[in-house]
Amino acid sequence: MRIPTLAAAALFALCSVASAQDGTIYPLDPIPEPNAIPLGTGGVENQPAEESWFRQWGEPMVRNVSTATLTPYLPDPAKANGTAVIVAPGGGYRWLSINNEGWKIAKALNEQGVAAFVLKYRLFPTPPTLDGLRESMNRTFSSVTPGNGDAPPPPRPPRFDLSNQLADAEAAYALILKNAKKWGVDTDRIGMMGFSAGAGLTMHATLNSKTMKLAFIAPIYGGMGAVEVPKDAPPMFVAIAVDDFLFNGDFGLIKSWYEAKRPVEFHLYQDGGHGFGMGYPNHPTYWWFEVFTHWLDVNGFLKSKTSK
C-alpha cells in the first residue's frame, strides 16, 4: 500500500484512512485462505468485531485479526535451496497489507528457491464499520500530530505492546521447525522480513525473542531508531526511501548494527515514499527486491544445501 509523500509526514505505518480519490476504502468480501494454518496463540482482548476485509490503494487489506495464521508458500522442488523466510506484512498493527507486503513477496521469494511463510498476526481492535475505523484513526493520529509551526517534524510513532504479535511470530517459527523436513527447510537458514509495522515486529522478535534463532533479518521501511544489539544478532538488510516519514534522517538502527560489528547492508533510496511493497515503475525502489536477493545470494542463502 503506497502512501503519497505529502500525506506521509502526518501518518504512521500505513494507517491512513483519508478519502482521497486513490485512497478511498471499499468493503471487500473475505478472501479465501485455504492453506492458512492457525497458530493457536489465542484471541484478542476487547475485540469488538469479527475479522473483515477492505480494499485501499488497489490492494486487499484485512483487519480485526484475532486468530493468527501462517500460510506456507513453497518453491518448486527443483529450485528449492532450503532457505525459509517468515514474511510479516505492515499496517500499523491495525490492519495488514497482506497482498502487497505478504503474498506477492512470498511468491517472489519462491522464484528464488526460498520457502516463504506469510504471518497473519493478531492486530489491535478497530471499530466494526469502515466509518468507525476512519474516525478511530483520525483520533489516533491527531494525538501524535505536532502542533502548528513552519516546519513541524513528523509525529513520533506510538509505542505498542507487541506481546501478542511476538507470540504469533514465535509460534510461526516453531511450526516451521516442526515441519522443516516436510517443507524442505534448513533449520539453520530461517530468516524473517517485514514491512513497516511488520519490520517493527521483525526487529522486536530479533531483540526480544528467547526462542527464535533467526539466520538473517530484513526490516523494510520500518523504524530507524537506535537499538541495543544482541551479541549474536543476525545479518541485517534494510531498505527505505529518503521521503519516508519513518526515516527522517535517522541512521540509528544502522549505526547500532555497525558499532556492534554485526553484518549490515543498508539501501537509502532517492524517493519512493512509504509502503512501496515490491516497488513501483519509475521509482528507484522498483529494484530493491533484486538487490535483496543478491544480498541473500552473496551471504550463501540462495545456494542449495548440497552446493559447494
- Give the model confidence (pLDDT) of 226-249 as tens digits: 999 999 999 999 999 999 999 999
Instruction: Record the cell numbers describing residue 154, joined without a space.
Output: 513528523
Lowest pLDDT segment from 16-20, 118-122, 228-232, 246-250? 16-20
pLDDT for res 305: 72
- Does residue 146 lie within any of the structural domains? yes
Inside any domain, residue 9 = yes
Average pLDDT value for the chain = 87
Among the listed residues 289, 251, 281, 256, the one whose alpha carbon sits nearest the alpha carbon of residue 268 = 251
Q: At what angle do helices 163-178 and 197-208 cross, to 10 degrees?
A: 70
Whether the pLDDT of residue 50 is over 80: the answer is yes
304 domain-assigned? no
- Quickly state the pLDDT bin for 12 (edges 50, 70, 90): very low
Mean pLDDT of 164-170: 98
Query: What pLDDT, on a 0 to 100 scale, did the predictor assign at position 7?
Result: 31
Within-domain flag for 252: yes
pTM of the full structure = 0.88
Residue 83's domain comprises 5-150+159-298
Distance between CA 216 and CA 223 in Å, rounded?
18
Which pLDDT value is given to residue 133? 80
Of 254, 255, 274, 257, whose CA–CA distance to 266 is shortest? 254
pLDDT tens across 22-47, in order?
A: 578 899 999 999 999 999 999 999 88
132 in a structural domain: yes
> Cα separation of 218 and 224, whole Å?
13
Task: Please give the Cα distance from 14 to 7 (Å, whole number).
Answer: 10
pLDDT band with cut points at 50, 70 and 90 for residue 137: low
Report the percent of the chain where pLDDT is more than 90.
73
**pLDDT for 18 beyond 60:** no
CATH number (domain holding residue 23)? 3.40.50.1820
Q: Is 219 helix (H, G, I), strand (E, B) or coil?
A: strand
Strands 236-241, 217-220: pairing is parallel
Q: Is 273 helix (H, G, I), strand (E, B) or coil?
A: coil
CA–CA separation, 165 and 171 (whole Å) = 10
Q: Which three cell numbers stand for residue 127?
A: 471499530
Tally the domains of the chain: 1
